[in-house]
Amino acid sequence: MNIPLKASKYSAPGQYLGYALQPLRLCYHLLQCPPGAHVSMEHSEDVAVHYSNGFQLLEQDKSALKQNPISDWADDLWKTIAHWLKGIKTGEIDPAQTAFRIYVTPAHEGEIAAALSAATTLEQVRDLTAQIRATLSKRRKPRSCQAHLQEFLDSSDEERFALISHLEIDSRDNDPVVALQSVLALAVPEQLMQRVCRYLLGNAKDRADRLIREGGPAVISGDEFKRNLQSFMKSNNLPGYLRSLSGPPEAAQVGAVISTRPTFIRQLELIEAQDEQFVRATSDFLRTSADKALWAEAGDIFEGELGGWDEDLVRRHEFIRGEIADTHAGSSPEARGRLTYNRCGGAQVSLAGREVPGHFVHGSFNALADDCRVGWHPDYRELLSDEGE
């Protein structure tokens, strides 16, 4: 039984590193599952583990920040139980090959939930059912959960036993990120923990989202996921490389930024850039901004390093711009601007002696263009000034 026996006193839980509870539990199970197992999200259940021998773990996840989903008459509790009982009755779920788990965070308790989680014999299930019936008989008005609770009461002793004897209610974690970190603790140094957690959560969520977009179930191999962790750890032990901690932004986010026409977009308009260049510039601009913040948070870079980085890019821009002005004097201003932009975006530049991801140089140049510290059109300052009047 994993229900606290005493009322829990907990501080405000963490923000799950910016991720919802289901992707976090997906990641947790991908790291915990045995060889040959797969883990799914929003397929068989909120999260499910599919073992190589045909056994499965079905888990429903409850984020209990505002209410207790395992209080005695909570809708969440009885809705979940009714859902699984229906699956057993229809044959969709084979209880002999299934474990059931309700995962609740932060930690909460409930008397009936504790009894459900502890019951392992048919006699215990019968006694608990009788206690529930006796309590309900004393009330004049039905409970709000009555429709779901009735599914439990109308089931046979054998059907109830098939579920309850395989049911676990896990309500121990005040912050599920801590549970994830405890799995990683033996393999991941403390200074890398936040970075690794962010990478794994993003990797798990991106994979699941991609599989769902492709029209298939979000089922991921635990073995492959662990191999990706090993590769990530190896690459992050390279002292001369700064690995990106951010993922590509969503298309809707990119489109929303472009529609507001920030300065770096107007700079591209001045040189008549192609549509795909607007998209790439915006994506790299957003991702670079995120990486700067995440690297600073992780202690990978310092404010002084970013200031020197920007100055290096400004100087490089000046050299490239001057060279193109001399060698392409007969070209139109727009063409010279495109050449300057492409040369700058494709430049190989290190940050404090460390190699950076491909999007970072391009995104940084666009950030400087947004501040008008660099520009692509030879007359960008005058043109942008005229546009603002």
Between 232 and 171, the higher pLDDT residue: 171
Q: What is the mean pLDDT of residues 305-320?
A: 91
Inform me whether the pLDDT recorded for 120 exceeds 70.
yes
Alpha helices in 37-156 (DSSP H): 75-90, 111-118, 122-137, 146-154
Between 192 and 16, the higher pLDDT residue: 192
From residue 186, alpha-carbon distances to 29, 67, 193, 252 in Å are 16, 34, 11, 39
* 115 alpha carbon, distance to own chain's centre: 34
Alpha helices in 328-377 (DSSP H): 333-345, 358-370
Residue with tokens 């289901």: 22
* φ, ψ for residue 346, nearest 5 deg: -95, 5
Chain mean pLDDT for the chain = 88
What pLDDT sits at residue 17?
Answer: 53
What pLDDT sits at residue 303?
Answer: 66
What pLDDT sits at residue 277?
Answer: 95
pTM over cut 0.85: no
* 269 alpha carbon, distance to own chain's centre: 34
What pLDDT sits at residue 8?
Answer: 29
Signed CA dihedral, 135, 138, 143, 145: sign only: positive
Q: What is the mean pLDDT of residues 66-75?
A: 92
CA–CA–CA angle 71, 57, 59 (5° rounding): 35
In tens, the pLDDT along 132-169 reads 999 988 887 888 899 999 999 999 999 999 999 999 99
Q: What is the mean pLDDT of residues 18-28?
A: 87
What pLDDT sits at residue 350?
Answer: 83
Q: Are 370 and 263 in contact (CB under 8 A)?
A: yes
pLDDT category at 16 given cuts 50, 70, 90 is low
What pLDDT sits at residue 1?
Answer: 38
Strands across the sheet with 47-50, in order? 167-170, 98-105, 56-63, 47-50, 38-41, 218-221
Q: What CA–CA distance (Å, rounded) separates 304 from 309?
A: 9
Q: What CA–CA distance (Å, rounded) separates 41 from 103?
A: 14
